[in-house]
Amino acid sequence: MWLRWLWRWLWVWWLRRWMWVWWLRMWVWWLRMWMWRMLLTHWKIKVFRKN
């Protein structure tokens, strides 16, 4: 009986951990994309101003 409970608890913990990792990865990816977009727009503006 207790073994089943332990298994369930481990499963929940593992799932939570995985979800947390996934959320973190998504956040990092989104932030990176946003940063790149900002940099590119800035660079484009500079280039256009130069010409």
Q: How many CA atoms lie within 13 A of 14 on its CB side?
A: 6
Of residues 51 and 36, which shows the higher confidence score?
36
pLDDT 10s digits, 2-39: 889 999 999 999 999 999 999 999 999 999 999 999 98
Residue 1 above 70 pLDDT? Answer: yes
pLDDT given at position 41: 87
Above 70 in pLDDT, residue 51?
no
At residue 43, does pLDDT exceed 90? no
Helix/strand/coil percent split, the chain, to 5 = 95, 0, 5
